[in-house]
Amino acid sequence: MRYLIVDLEATCRDSGMPREEMEIIEIGAVEMLSADSEPTREFGRFIRPTLNPELSEFCTQLTSITQRDVERAGLFPEVFQEFQDWIGPRPYTLCSWGNYDLTQFLQDFARHEITPPYEFDFARHINLKKRCAEKFGTRPLGMASALHHLGLPLLGKHHRGIDDARNIAALARFILLS
């Protein structure tokens, strides 16, 4: 079974931002060809937001994504098409840490009037955060806490989509194995 581990970053403000105003600004993903394999490929792209085109200082500090990064990036429809092309044919199972990423994808599809493609299979989604809590008998943990719980290092910059996808893939190797 091929697993696609996905992590999104979105616009945010320290004073809070209404959920419906958040926009994806990065898609990070890694592919694992089986539950116990190392990642084989990666996808990391920034996305230019349209509703709130100026990133807040808080968002830049949290994610390390700069205004220049998003200004040079494509819009969501273009980058999502690149992501679909990278994914390739089915079968695969989409995995993320919690349900946020799924909800954010659906919100951005609606904002950009995109019908979620058949190949982008949400029905087979695995919530690794929930699966981790069930497997190890813990309350639902944040990704960094789960890494610590399993004695794994946090690599890269937390709250960067591609780095978080890599870290979630490391967790997935423990979580997905029976």
| pLDDT for the residue numbered 124 | 80
For residue 119, the 8-state DSSP code is: T
CATH of the domain at 54: 3.30.420.10
Sheet of 24-32: strands edge to edge? 39-46, 24-32, 3-10, 93-96, 126-127
pLDDT digits (tens, 9 = 90+) for 110-143: 999 998 876 666 778 999 999 999 999 999 999 9
Residue 74 has pLDDT above 80, yes or no: yes
Count how many domains the chain has.
1
pLDDT digits (tens, 9 = 90+) for 75-111: 999 999 999 999 998 889 999 999 999 999 999 999 9
Sign of the alpha-carbon torsion through 47, 48, 52, 58: positive
> By residue range, what is the domain housing residue 124?
3-175
Residue 39 has pLDDT above 90, yes or no: yes
| pLDDT for the residue numbered 2 | 95
The residues, ordered by sequence, that sit 6+ positions from 134 with a Cβ below 8 Å of its Cβ are none
